[in-house]
Every structure is written in structure tokens, then in C-alpha cells.
Amino acid sequence: MTRDPRFDVLFEPVQIGPVTAKNRFYQVPHCCGMGFNWPQSHAKMREMKAEGGWAVVCTEECMIHPSSDYSPEPQARLWDDHDVKCLGLMVDAVHRHGALAGVQLAHNGVGTQNLFTRMTPIGPSDQSSVIGTPGQTRGMSKRDIQEFRRWHRNAALRAKQADADIIYVYAGHDSTLLMHFLSRRRNFRSDEYGGCLENRARLLREVLEETKDVVGDRCAVAIRLAVDELQGSEGISCEGEGREIVELLAELPDLWDVNLSDWENDSVSSRFGEEGWQERYVAFVKQITSKPVVGVGRFTSPDTMVSQIRRGVLDMIGAARPSIADPFLPEKIEQGRLDEIRECIGCNICVSGQHTFTPMRCTQNPSVGEEWRRGWHPERIAPKGSDATVLVIGAGPAGLEATRALGQRGYAVTLAEAGGKPGGRVTQESRLPGLSAWARARDWRVGRIQEMANVEVFLDSHLSTEDVLEYGFGHVVVATGARWRADGVGVSNWQPIRGSDQAHVLTPEHIYAGATIADPVLVFDDDNFYLGALVAEKLQGEGHAVTLVTTVSKVSSWTENTLEQHRIQARVLELGIEVATAHTIVQIHADQVDCACVYTNRPRTLPAGSVVMVTSRRPDNQLYLALMENPEKLTSAGIRSVSAIGDCSNPSTIATAIYEGHRVARELDAAPVDPDMPFRREQIALASSV
Ligand code: ADP
Ligand code: SF4
């Protein structure tokens, strides 16, 4: 296949100061939960993007000095020459595929806690930490400012020593010192670094000039600037100081990388922002500077990308999440393989890796984080290890991914699904308000499976144990999913809740099936991820009177890890849903529910004509257990292995289900994986003197 000429413009080279990007695809800096802890994993993950055609591949925040220690979150570091070697791994990996390597130098100022280094956190003024930990930051003296500039110059030189091509001066989020100097909320100085905007931008200008002085002969110097904080006149805004900063520094950097602050606005989930939603804020920048401009917007559609370029919004298509979900996105556009693009669904599970201090994972791309330690390539997979046939039971995300990847390996695969549609929970959940993009997790897999002559799919085919034994496939993969419990058992209640066996006590599956619901509705959320609040939102939107009872103090508390909690709570309140946080259910009656405060046990009674339980799920594993009960029968049926994957093994995220589907496909007929150590570890070398 060849490229559609409409997309030619995306493959034009772009001059960035002294370096040239081979096309307009630009992987902007993004966190990955690897940083200094796992440099080889980091290098390999970034290499995949270079191999997949991105012209520029950047690091995440790269700390310039121990006074900016982001522990326990793993970020890149350039504190000393040892760190140059670690960064060099990534730069060399990116260069192997003709891409440019960018390094986002960062100091987190008021955003650091320095938990590891125990150095005094510093910022423009004496103030509370942005992170909200006990302890404040010390306002920087003139000497501190001199030191900061020296650290930045040294880090830039180290980045150059590591052979990086693009070196960032970073004021892109409220977590960074240079942004803190710009901000009237953070900078209360009365000297030449505070007061008017020109003064607040002085340090940014100095650092830009000095970075150009020390590395500008060979490296491009980029600025990452948040041109809007979505705080109106209280913050930096594209109609106010954001624009003025761009005007002040217009021609100084070699490239403008412009975005929104803070991270939840920059990486807004698909539930709260559409593709290209930053355009209205960043579009002005190109009218002010002649330097290339890059911006993000969860771009996955080549038509949207071309439109951004043609209409003069951006010069380069920036991407973090689309490059995680599909490192080969540029190559697929170049080769005219548009149907194969694995589009980001905007779920922000990738972000959660950073917040949980672990290598990131991705719902759409199960190979992320496994490139080095398990040797998983996002596009390639070993050919089949035998001529055995495979039966996959259940076409939810786990079964679909297992089928797709086994089919890619060349196995003859049969997929049987009880329902009339593929997708399992993805199909159900993507019909909830704001989650339509999640259907991409199903559609991409169904699309690939349909192209495979070696895969057969049977819908409306509920299989029994006898069916499976009778068919006699070589391998059986059970992916039959899980169902929400109506009895309220979950984190807070270990025993069924009294009265939960009544007909008006429902589960999300009842809601998906359009069950009759009597008002008022009480949704009990002890899962505390997205579903409880989303069911409440759906029902309130359909005209019901809804009360949301949560066992924790914030609605959908775990969604802090996907940057959505604030927006979810705001939406629930704006919709007029009654909220009772930090309460559990004690007993359910015909028309009311006895609740109790989780702190004081103080009782509270709420009216409820129906109750929807979002607490925990029961694996639908009867088929798997029945098959495993009788190994002789399996042998005589010619079945060599039976595996349970996804929710029928351990109900979890869609990302986990897809990952397990992928893993079972990789491991079939492969050399056995050591269950005690299933992947390579990155060992920290001990100094020779020890
Ligand atoms: P997962 O997230 O693990 O993929 P899902 O619940 O999303 O789990 O999907 C499981 C799928 O398995 C559902 O579409 C369900 O209809 C199907 N299924 C369950 N039991 C059987 C069975 N015995 N035969 C065929 N399909 C089944
Ligand atoms: Fe996109 Fe979700 Fe993957 Fe992140 S985890 S890249 S948001 S699909």
C-alpha cells in the first residue's frame, strides 16, 4: 500500500535550529514511570517510537539537580556523568532509526518534596508546596538564582554530551520552577525577577539565552510553555499573559512546544475533551513566531493532523498518548495502512503508571513497558510454535486480543462468543456517557481479526464444557469475563449486605440491559474507579433522582490516577446528583437504605426505590474450573492446555484483560517462562569498591 497524497504534508522535513526533523511527527515529552530507575526499559520503549517513524522522540521531565528530586515518582535525571550514560542509552536507541532525541530539562521548584535528597525545596518565594505536603519551599536568593542557572547550563551540556539533538527549557506545567517564576500565584518577589511580566519572565529568558550559548551550536533549544492554565485572568491565559510571554520571547527558542497546564488539562481524558481540543488555546502562537510550533491534542486521525498544518495551527503534530497506543502510527500513515492504526482511547491508564511509580501500561498497546524486559515488539510477534488449533471462548477485550495475537502468529483460531456482539464489557461500557472512544479497543481488534483467513468467529455461541471437550482443539483459552455482584461484597463489606437479595437491588449489567428502575435510585460505589459515578450520571441524565453513596471521601477517588477525579466530582455535583461520601450500606429495605459513616458509624437513612451496587465482580470461571476438574478428559479430547485470562481469572481493568490476552498468545508453544522470574530485571550495579 502507498501513502495517500493528501497526507504528504505530514512527511515534509522541518528545520529546528541546527537540526532537521525528517517529518512532522513529534513525540513530545511524556512521563512513563521508568525514568532513572529503569533506563534500559526506557530506552527500548522510546526506540519503538523512532522505529515506528516519529521524527522526534523526547524524554520525560529530566531533573537537572538533586534540589529537584521528584521521588518517589521515577523521572529522568542528569545530575552527574553516570546519568549521561543512562540518557545515552535512549539517545542512541532513537538515533538508530534516524530520529532526533529531545531532552526535557526540568527543575520542579515549588512542586518538589525532595523526599530522597532531603535538600531544601526552593521556589520564587516562601510558600506552601504545590504538592500539598507538610513543609514549604524557601524563596530563592539572588545567589540561588545564579546557582539554578549554572545547574541548568551544566545539565544542558550533559544532554549534549549524551548526544541529544533538542534540549528543552521547560515551563509547560505548574510543576516546574520556570513556570512558578512566571506565575502571579507563585511569584511574590519585589526584585527584578518579580512584579511585572517582563520581570517574571526574566529567568526564563536568561535560561533560554544561556542554553543556546552552551549547546546551541549543535543542539536545537526548545521551549515548552503552557499558554493557558484554564484559570481565566487568575492564571496564565492565551488572551492574557500566555500571549504576552510568546510575544516577549518569540524568536529566541528554535521551537515552541505549547500546551495547557496543569497535566489534567494537557492530557484531558476522552470523557472530557475531544481530539484537538487544545487548538482554541494554542492557535495564536504561530501568528507571533516564525519558529516551528508543536502542540498536542490526542491526534490519531491523519485528516485532523493535515488540517492542523494546512490551517496554520501547528507545524508539527505533537503526541504523547497516541504514540504510546501506537508507536507505529507515522509508519502506518506513510504506508497507507490507516485501518491498522491502534487509536488511543483516551482512558489515561498510561498516566496511572507515573502516579503508582511503576512502568506505564496502556489499554490499547499491551507491549508498552515490556519492550525490554520481555522483548515484546508492538508490531512483531513470533510465528506459531506448532500446528495446534486454538479455541478462544469469550470475545471481550481479553478474548479478542488473544485471538488477534494468536491469529497474527499464524495459528488456526476459533473464537466463540455467547452474545450477539463482540466486545464484552467494552461494548457495554462504551455506551455510557462520554466513553464512546473506548469502543476503539474492540473495533481495532475486530478489524484485524476480520482480515485473518486463519481465524473464525462464531457469535451467539454459548459453549458448555461438553461442547469444548467434543470439539477437541489443541489449546483452549477461556476468557468468559466477570459479573458485578448484587450482594454488595467489596472492599468495605466482606459479607453480603442484609436485604441485598431483593428484586430492586441491581448491578451495572441490569442498567446496561435497560432494567426498570424505581426512583429514587441509590448507587453504592465501593469500587471507587469510574463506573459508580458514571452509572449515576447516566441515570440522572435519563431523568431519575440519584444519590451516589461512596465509601471514600472523594467521588471516583482512584481516578486521581487518571487525572479525572476533579472533573468527575464537578460533573456529578453540577448534574444535581446527591452525594454521600464516606458512607457504607448496612441494610437495604423496600424503600430506604440504612447507611453508616465509615469514620463514626453514625447512622443515616436514605430513600431508595432501587439500589445499584458497584462494589466488586465475581469471575465467570465455571467453564474453566469444570474443564480443569478432569485432566484425563482433556487429554482424551486432545486438549494440551487450558488457560483462563482476563476478568474470568481476576476481574481488573480493561488494560489488564488485553495484556493477559496478549501474554497468553505470546507464550503459547514458546520456551517456558520461569514463573519465579518471568522477565529480565534491571539490576543496579554495585560500585567496584563495595
Ligand atoms: P474480559 O474483560 O476478561 O475480556 P468480558 O466480560 O468483557 O471479559 O468478556 C467476556 C465475554 O465472554 C462476554 O462477551 C461473554 O458473553 C462471553 N462468554 C462468557 N461465557 C461464555 C461461554 N461459555 N461461551 C462463549 N462466550 C462466553
Ligand atoms: Fe491512550 Fe489509554 Fe493507552 Fe493512555 S492507556 S495511551 S489514554 S489508550
476 lies in the same domain as 565: no
Contact 11, 21 (CB under 8 A): no
Q: Quote the ligand 2 centre to 344 CA distance (angstroms).
A: 5
Instruction: Say what the pLDDT of residue 70 is.
Output: 87
For ligand 1, say whether the CB of 419 is within 6 Å of any of its atoms. Answer: yes
User: How confident is the model over 94-121, as a mean pLDDT?
Assistant: 95
419 lies in the same domain as 500: no
243 lies in the same domain as 166: yes
For ligand 2, say whether the CB of 354 is within 6 Å of any of its atoms. Answer: no
Q: Quote the ligand 1 centre to 623 CA distance (angstroms).
A: 11
Among protein residues, the one with the nearest Cα to ligand 1's atom 13 is 424
Q: Quote the ligand 2 centre to 361 CA distance (angstroms).
A: 8
Return the exposure string of 486-506: e unless at least 16 CB atoms fall within 10 Å of the residue's CB, then b.
Answer: bbbbbebbeeebebbeeebbb
Higher pLDDT, 240 or 36: 240
Atom of ligand 1 nearest to the CA of 464: 23
Residue 412 covered by a domain: yes
| Tens-digit pLDDT profile for residues 586-640 | 999 999 999 999 999 999 999 999 999 999 999 999 999 999 999 999 999 999 9
Instruction: Say what the pLDDT of residue 295 is.
Output: 98
Contact 328, 54 (CB under 8 A): no
512 lies in the same domain as 409: no
Atom of ligand 2 nearest to the CA of 298: 1
Query: From the CA of 624, which ligand is nearest?
Result: 1
How far is it, in rounded angstroms, from Cα 34 to Cα 61?
11
Q: Quote the ligand 2 centre to 459 CA distance (angstroms).
A: 28
| Three cell numbers, residue 42 | 526506557
For ligand 1, say whether the CB of 623 is within 6 Å of any of its atoms. Answer: yes
643 three-class SS:
strand
DSSP 442-462: HHHHHHHHHT-TTEEEESS-P
160 lies in the same domain as 49: yes
For ligand 2, say whether the CB of 344 is within 6 Å of any of its atoms. Answer: yes
Q: Quote the ligand 2 centre to 271 CA distance (angstroms).
A: 12
Instruction: Say what the pLDDT of residue 234 is.
Output: 85
> Sorting pLDDT into bands at 50, 70 and 90, what band is 175?
confident
Phi, psi of 95 (to 5 degrees): -65, -30
| Ligand 2 probe mutation, 363, 436, 444, most atoms within 8 A of CB | 363
Can you give the CATH number for the domain in which 435 is found?
3.40.50.720
Query: From the CA of 618, which ligand is nearest?
Result: 1
- Percent of residues, the chain, with pLDDT higher than 70: 99
Q: Quote the ligand 2 centre to 468 CA distance (angstroms).
A: 35
Among protein residues, the one with the nearest Cα to ligand 1's atom 14 is 424
Residue 676 covered by a domain: no
536 lies in the same domain as 593: yes
Residue 58 covered by a domain: yes
User: How confident is the model over 13-41, as a mean pLDDT?
Assistant: 96
How far apart are the two ends of the chain, measured CA to CA in Å? 57
Contact 62, 87 (CB under 8 A): yes
Query: From the CA of 345, which ligand is nearest?
Result: 2
Can you give the CATH number for the domain in which 121 is found?
3.20.20.70
Instruction: Say what the pLDDT of residue 690 is.
Output: 45
Instruction: Say what the pLDDT of residue 472 is.
Output: 83
Residue 404 burial (C-beta neighbours within 10 Å; 0-12, 13-18, 19+): buried
420 lies in the same domain as 507: no
Q: Quote the ligand 1 centre to 608 CA distance (angstroms).
A: 32
How far is it, in rounded angstroms, from Cα 518 to Cα 72?
47
Residue 511 covered by a domain: yes
> Sorting pLDDT into bands at 50, 70 and 90, what band is 686?
low
Domain limits at 558?
486-617
Atom of ligand 1 nearest to the CA of 646: 3
Residue 362 covered by a domain: no
Q: Quote the ligand 1 centre to 415 CA distance (angstroms).
A: 11
Q: Quote the ligand 1 centre to 517 CA distance (angstroms).
A: 26
500 lies in the same domain as 437: no
User: How confident is the model over 331-344, as a mean pLDDT?
Assistant: 98
For ligand 1, say whether the CB of 480 is within 6 Å of any of its atoms. Answer: yes
343 three-class SS:
coil
For ligand 1, say whether the CB of 416 is within 6 Å of any of its atoms. Answer: yes
410 lies in the same domain as 448: yes
Task: Count CA atoms within 13 Å of residue 222 on its CB side.
Answer: 32
51 lies in the same domain as 120: yes
The answer for residues whose C-beta is within 8 angstroms of residue 370's C-beta and 6 or more apart is 376, 679
Q: In the predicted model, what is the mean pLDDT of the chain?
A: 96
Query: From the CA of 269, which ligand is nearest?
Result: 2
Q: What is the dihedral of CA 270, 271, 274, 280, to 10 degrees?
A: -110
527 lies in the same domain as 469: no
| Tens-digit pLDDT profile for residues 409-468 | 999 999 999 999 999 999 999 999 999 999 999 999 999 999 999 999 999 999 999 999
Instruction: Find cell 429495605 and name the residue.
Output: 589
566 lies in the same domain as 648: no
| Ligand 2 probe mutation, 345, 370, 445, 564, most atoms within 8 A of CB | 345
For ligand 2, say whether the CB of 268 is within 6 Å of any of its atoms. Answer: no
| Ligand 1 probe mutation, 391, 417, 466, most atoms within 8 A of CB | 417
Which residues are part of the catalytic machinery?
Answer: 31, 170, 173, 266
- Coarse DSSP helix, strand, coil percentages of the chain, rounded to the nearest 5 percent: 35, 20, 45
331 three-class SS:
helix
Among protein residues, the one with the nearest Cα to ligand 2's atom 2 is 347
Atom of ligand 2 nearest to the CA of 324: 6
Output DSSP code: residue 102.
E
| Tens-digit pLDDT profile for residues 250-297 | 999 999 999 999 999 999 999 999 999 999 999 999 999 999 999 999
For ligand 1, say whether the CB of 88 is within 6 Å of any of its atoms. Answer: no
For ligand 2, say whether the CB of 200 is within 6 Å of any of its atoms. Answer: no
Phi, psi of 227 (to 5 degrees): -85, -10
For ligand 2, say whether the CB of 45 is within 6 Å of any of its atoms. Answer: no
Instruction: Say what the pLDDT of residue 688 is.
Output: 54
For ligand 2, say whether the CB of 345 is within 6 Å of any of its atoms. Answer: yes
Element holding 105 (H helix, E strand): strand 100-106
Task: Count CA atoms within 13 Å of residue 684 on its CB side.
Answer: 8
User: How confident is the model over 347-355, as a mean pLDDT?
Assistant: 94
Name the amino acid, one letter, at 243: R
For ligand 1, say whether the CB of 508 is within 6 Å of any of its atoms. Answer: no
Name the amino acid, one letter, at 676: D
Instruction: Say what the pLDDT of residue 689 is.
Output: 52
Residue 618 burial (C-beta neighbours within 10 Å; 0-12, 13-18, 19+): middle
The answer for residues whose C-beta is within 8 angstroms of residue 472's C-beta and 6 or more apart is 637, 638, 639
Q: Quote the ligand 2 centre to 211 CA distance (angstroms).
A: 33
| Tens-digit pLDDT profile for residues 628-683 | 999 999 999 999 999 999 999 999 999 999 999 999 999 999 998 898 999 999 87
Can you give the CATH number for the domain in which 547 is found?
3.50.50.60
**Number of domains composing the chain:** 3
Whether residue 130 is predicted with pLDDT greater than 80 in this model: the reply is no
For ligand 1, say whether the CB of 55 is within 6 Å of any of its atoms. Answer: no
How far is it, in rounded angstroms, from Cα 419 to Cα 422?
7
